[in-house]
């Protein structure tokens, strides 16, 4: 049974339609990455699927009792507001201490940070605390909206590797948005290319060769997705754990491309439905 299914979904805000005719499903344990230019409706789609925004047309069907853990693109905390990590993890309702301890351990948040103020955390620490809070929902689906925005390449790669490890550990599905072609493909089972509608979707290999993808993202990486498939058959050296910026025998691109580099034509119509590799 699919965790959630969208059919002929349309959505928008302020009188402007952003999404039209979107069909998408998410299966248990699957990692799906949504890519697309700025203004393509990625965040709107995630909000509709999470139930935070009502669609203007179409349907979203969720598995009964579905639990979603959401990691936002940005979260602003006023520096004058006292907000420790522990207090943040207990919002909006107090969580069990053992559940908080497990969530912090899973996400690599050191116990010593529990009383640290949120505004004093580094970017990587802050994102891991957000992830820990999402895991407190014991989610069937983790949704991440450009959760590594502002992190450098090694930190982004480590964060995506952490997501993959958590997926395997707790068995949740992952639906994430990213603008980072050079690391986001590390564990994706399926990539969805969005530009108001789904231009193409499938395995990273399928999408990387789709003319619709190349039309959207130009030649910054010669139209190729970075196939960052991490191999778990070697040890990491101390101090560079999960650093996918080094060559471990992967086929990858080092260009720091962003999805808004090129104009985004809206004529792409290919719908590739190949599933997981």
Q: What is the pLDDT of residue 184?
A: 57
Q: What is the token pair recorded at 103? A: 């969530």
d(CA 178, CA 36): 8
Q: 74 pLDDT band (50/70/90 cuts)? A: confident
Q: Taken in order 219, 146, 99, 114, is the CA torsion positive or negative?
A: positive
pTM: 0.76
Q: What is the pLDDT of residue 188?
A: 85
Q: What is the pLDDT of residue 261?
A: 31
Q: What is the pLDDT of residue 117?
A: 97
Q: Is the pLDDT of residue 234 over 50?
A: no
Q: How far apart are the first and last CA of the chain?
A: 19
CB 265 within 8 A of CB 215: yes
d(CA 60, CA 211): 29
Q: What is the pLDDT of residue 183?
A: 55
pLDDT in tens, 90-132: 998 899 999 999 999 999 999 999 999 999 999 889 999 999 9
Q: What is the pLDDT of residue 180?
A: 67
Residue boundaries of the structural domains of the chain: 1-67+141-277, 70-138
pLDDT in tens, 180-209: 665 555 568 899 999 999 999 998 878 877
The mean pLDDT value for 168-191 works out to 80
Most confidently modeled range among 138-142, 154-158, 163-167, 178-182? 138-142
The mean pLDDT value for 65-74 works out to 92
Q: 155 pLDDT band (50/70/90 cuts)? A: confident
The mean pLDDT value for 10-16 works out to 88
Neighbouring C-alpha atoms within 13 Å toward the C-beta of 231:
8
d(CA 107, CA 126): 11
Most confidently modeled range among 47-56, 215-224, 225-234? 47-56
Q: Is the pLDDT of residue 266 over 80?
A: no
What CATH number does the domain located at 1-67+141-277 have?
3.40.50.300
Computed over its alpha carbons, how large is the radius of gyration of the chain? 19
């Amino acid at each position: 049974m699919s965790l959630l299914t969208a059919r002929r979904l349309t959505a928008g805000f302020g009188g402007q339609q952003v999404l039209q005719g979107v069909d998408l499903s998410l299966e248990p344990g699957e990692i799906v990455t949504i890519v697309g230019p700025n203004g393509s409706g990625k965040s709107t789609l995630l909000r509709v699927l999470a139930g935070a925004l009502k669609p203007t047309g179409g349907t979203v069907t969720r598995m009964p009792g579905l639990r979603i853990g959401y990691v936002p693109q940005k979260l602003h905390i006023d520096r004058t507001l006292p907000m420790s990590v522990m207090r943040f993890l207990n919002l909006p309702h107090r969580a069990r201490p053992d559940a908080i301890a497990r969530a912090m351990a899973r996400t690599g948040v050191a116990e010593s940070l529990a009383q640290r103020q949120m505004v004093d955390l580094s970017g990587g620490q802050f994102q891991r605390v957000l992830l820990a809070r999402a895991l407190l929902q014991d989610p069937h689906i983790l949704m991440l909206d450009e959760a590594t925005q502002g992190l450098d390449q090694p930190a982004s790669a480590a964060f995506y590797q952490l997501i993959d490890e958590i997926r395997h550990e707790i068995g949740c599905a992952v639906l994430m948005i990213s603008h980072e072609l050079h690391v986001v493909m590390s564990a994706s089972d399926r990539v969805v290319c969005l530009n108001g509608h789904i231009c193409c979707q499938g395995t990273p290999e399928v999408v990387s060769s789709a003319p619709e993808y190349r039309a959207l993202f130009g030649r910054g990486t010669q139209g190729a997705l970075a196939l960052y498939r991490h191999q778990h058959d070697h040890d990491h050296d101390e101090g560079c754990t999960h650093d996918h910026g080094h060559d471990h025998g992967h086929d990858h691109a080092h260009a720091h491309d962003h999805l808004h580099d090129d104009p985004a034509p809206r004529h792409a119509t290919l719908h590739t439905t190949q599933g997981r590799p």
